[in-house]
Amino acid sequence: MFVKPFAYERAATLGEACEMLRAHDGSAKVIAGGQSLMPMVNFGLLDLEAVVDVSRVASGVTNEDGYLQIGATTRHRELIESSALREGQPMLAEAAHWIGNARIRNRGTLGGSLAHSDPVAELPLAMVTLGAEYDLTDGRATRTVRADEFHQSYFATALADDELIASVRVPALGPGWGWGFVEISRRLGDFALVAAAALARVADGRVVESRLALAGVGERPLRLAAAEAAVGGATADELDERIGPIEGLEPVTDTNATAEHRRHLARVLAIRALTDAIRRGGEAA
């Protein structure tokens, strides 16, 4: 497809990038890795005056007072390889491992994936499950938004036109907590049909507290509050009888799977993710 020419601008800081976005009055997009942006441009889904490159803005992962602070330009590969993340919140590192292929993981960024907000993407699902907070900036002020409030619908977020994700904050995994992250796709590296993420705090082999969420069954990652309540006090062997049909799902039928198949996968993967979380929580207790 013929792509309309657009300008390329490079920002040294996020504040400078926000000024560039305002100058183009909603007709510019930020690029860091470009793994989602450029396919949309090539397919004619975006009509841009300019792209603003923030790839040179510093990134990284730090552990501060029990929370992991992650720069938005941190690449997926860095999430996977970060020792701070592997020790402090391994589920997030595992979620990044499932993204696309090596080329995408080498170029794609945390902030880019979250701002794109694909409802089947791994990182938004992990962030909603973890109870993450996003620091958003327009270069003049910063505000904090919870992950479950940020991701609003299909490719729709709480970002204003001149705002960027500056960093993400997730709690480190505490004593007795375990995690699970599973997904199913037609081929390795394809978009997930359904994915599930879980956290569980375990004592004497039983669930004391849990967090469970799904992707691929609605317009954004979905927390399963009813299932979380149902598994309180359960062992891994009791999950199948505790978790009944999951309500509130809105899966779609497409060329990859039927809505009925996705609905079936949702329950299967929720149980698998929780089983892994209980096992790991028991080992960490």
Q: In this structure, what DSSP letter does residue 248 have?
A: S
Q: What is the structure's pLDDT at 2? A: 64
What architecture is the 177-284 domain classified under in CATH?
Answer: 2-Layer Sandwich (3.30)
| Mean pLDDT confidence for 238-259 | 96
Q: Are the C-beta atoms of 112 and 54 separated by less than 8 Å?
A: no
Residue 46 predicted with pLDDT over 90: no
Residue 47 predicted with pLDDT over 90: no
Q: What is the structure's pLDDT at 178? A: 98
Q: How many residues does the chain have?
A: 285
Quickly state the pLDDT bin for 3 (edges 50, 70, 90). confident
* Range 7-53 classified under CATH 3.40.50.300: no
What is 122-186 written as a DSSP string? HHHHHHHHHT-EEEEE-SS-EEEEEHHHHEEETTEES--TT-EEEEEEEEPP-TTEEEEEEEE-S
- Mean pLDDT taken over the chain: 95
Q: What is the structure's pLDDT at 188? A: 87
| Mean pLDDT confidence for 3-16 | 93
The domain defined by 61-171 folds into 3.30.465
In sequence order, the 6+-apart residues with CB closer than 8 A to the CB of 78 are 59, 60, 61
In sequence order, the 6+-apart residues with CB closer than 8 A to the CB of 102 are none
Task: Please give the backbone phi and psi of residue 148, each rounded to the nearest 5 degrees, phi first.
Answer: -70, -15
Counting residues of the chain whose pLDDT is more than 70, the rounded percentage is 99
Q: How far apart are the first and last CA of the chain?
A: 56
In sequence order, the 6+-apart residues with CB closer than 8 A to the CB of 145 are 133, 134, 136, 158
The torsion angle over the Cα atoms of residues 205, 210, 211 and 216, rounded to 10 degrees, is 50
Residue 251 predicted with pLDDT over 90: yes
In sequence order, the 6+-apart residues with CB closer than 8 A to the CB of 88 are 63, 68, 172, 173
| Mean pLDDT confidence for 153-159 | 97
| Mean pLDDT confidence for 173-180 | 96
- The span from the CA of 224 to the CA of 159, in Å, is 25
Domain range summary for the chain, segments of one domain joined by +: 7-53, 61-171, 177-284
Alpha-carbon 219 to chain mean position? 14
| Mean pLDDT confidence for 92-107 | 95
Q: Token pair for residue 64?
A: 């501060």
* Predicted TM-score (pTM) above 0.75: yes
